[in-house]
């Protein structure tokens, strides 16, 4: 094998996936003053790995990746990380809040710094959680379906729902999205408890009560999942946890599907332990468990948490600015280091 010759030109800047907004496309194009903008020719993980190894990306310093680019690259781990390291990649700027498509430990070991979009997603995702919570509490899914079938409320009366006022919202994962949801839920007259790995500063908690995981399960009328997906949170809600919950509880998940055992949720819904659920994410996206699809009392969205023009544009701009900072200053605005595993 011939030795790779070092490039004397400026660094390469790799775009993995598509930029949607014109303002951001213009911002991306302006990076050409700092390096050579490139895109992969491959369209699947096998070909992408071969393209990496061929030398096509040699001299790459930074990469912008989208959530959908996983179809091109596969999960960013193992051989892919090693091939990108050999090509020269130092900065991987991810357009999303979660790292479940990226093995951060592998990147860290390879000297690749990874960044995300940690705060811009908060408001839109919390809005989605509130929408799903209200729809699930009020049993709105069935009448919505019946109305579009021309049956108005339906051939049989829809089940009576529940008011949010006076209910206890338990937030599992009181990060930025959880705190935003807390403020919005309080406008509906709900009280809020939360559980984190550690208790928040009182000012940051904003009056929400810190409780143990078990107490949150036992006392909440609505439970919202707002956790990152990692080894410690996979299936953190399953059969044993449902058994501890109030009968008639409502479950909301706008985080990541595998945080909750979907089969266990279906069983809890069928037994009426869980009154309803509002879901934006699924364990095997885009596949949805047939027991959820067939349940008229469940509110389902196809991963729409940040699906607004304003939020998507802000997210894209943030990633471009992260790439720019990496090229100009050799550093990321925000980055993640180290593994996330069970303790």
Segment holding 301, helix H or strand E: none
DSSP 8-state assignment for residue 228:
-
Q: With the C-alpha atoms ordered 164, 167, 168, 172, is the resulting torsion angle positive or negative? A: negative
Q: Of 303, 313, 321, 340, which residue is the catalytic one?
A: 303
CA distance 121 to 136: 22
Q: Of 256, 318, 324, 336, which residue is the catalytic one?
A: 256
> Strand, coil or helix: what is 290?
helix
How far from the centroid of its chain's Cα atoms is residue 4's Cα?
A: 38
How far from the centroid of its chain's Cα atoms is residue 268's Cα?
A: 24
> Strand, coil or helix: what is 223?
strand
List phi, psi (to 5°) of 28. -65, -45
Q: Of 214, 285, 310, 328, which residue is the catalytic one?
A: 285
How far from the centroid of its chain's Cα atoms is residue 331's Cα?
A: 24
Annotation says 156 is catalytic:
no
Closest among 146, 175, 176 to 158, alpha carbons compared: 146
Annotation says 165 is catalytic:
no
Annotation says 4 is catalytic:
no
Closest among 254, 213, 237, 251 to 97, alpha carbons compared: 254
CA distance 339 to 343: 11
CA distance 126 to 131: 9
Q: How, if at all, do strands 274-279 and 249-253 pair?
A: parallel
Q: Which residues are catalytic?
A: 256, 285, 303
């Amino acid at each position: 094998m011939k030795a790779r010759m070092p490039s004397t030109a400026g660094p390469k800047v790799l775009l993995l996936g598509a930029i949607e907004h014109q303002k951001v496309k213009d911002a991306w194009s302006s990076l050409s003053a700092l390096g050579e903008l490139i895109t992969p020719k491959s369209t699947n993980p096998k070909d992408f790995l071969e393209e990496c190894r061929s030398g096509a990306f040699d001299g790459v310093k930074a990469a912008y990746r989208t959530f959908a680019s996983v179809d091109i690259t596969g999960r960013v781990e193992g051989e892919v990380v090693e091939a990108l390291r050999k090509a020269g990649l130092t900065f991987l700027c991810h357009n999303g809040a979660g790292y479940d498509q990226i093995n951060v430990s592998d990147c860290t070991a390879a000297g690749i710094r990874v960044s995300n979009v940690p705060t811009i997603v908060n408001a839109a995702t919390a809005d989605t959680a509130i929408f799903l919570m209200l729809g699930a509490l009020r049993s709105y899914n069935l009448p919505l379906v019946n109305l579009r079938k021309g049956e108005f409320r339906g051939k049989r009366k829809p089940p009576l729902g529940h008011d949010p006022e006076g209910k206890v919202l338990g937030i599992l994962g009181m990060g930025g999205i959880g705190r935003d949801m807390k403020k919005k839920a309080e406008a509906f007259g709900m009280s809020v408890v939360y559980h984190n790995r550690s208790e928040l500063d009182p000012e940051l908690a904003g009056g929400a009560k810190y409780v143990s995981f078990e107490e949150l399960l036992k006392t909440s009328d609505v439970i919202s999942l707002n956790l990152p997906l990692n080894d410690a949170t996979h299936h953190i809600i399953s059969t044993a946890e449902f058994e501890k919950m109030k009968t008639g509880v409502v479950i909301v998940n706008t985080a990541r599907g595998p945080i909750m055992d979907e089969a266990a949720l279906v069983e809890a819904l069928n037994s009426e332990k869980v009154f309803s659920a509002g879901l934006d994410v699924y364990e095997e996206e885009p596949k949805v468990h047939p027991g959820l699809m067939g349940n008229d009392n469940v509110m389902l969205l196809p991963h729409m948490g940040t699906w607004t023009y304003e939020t998507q544009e802000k997210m894209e701009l943030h990633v471009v600015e992260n790439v720019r900072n990496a090229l100009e200053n050799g550093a990321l605005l925000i980055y993640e280091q180290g593994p996330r595993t069970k303790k």
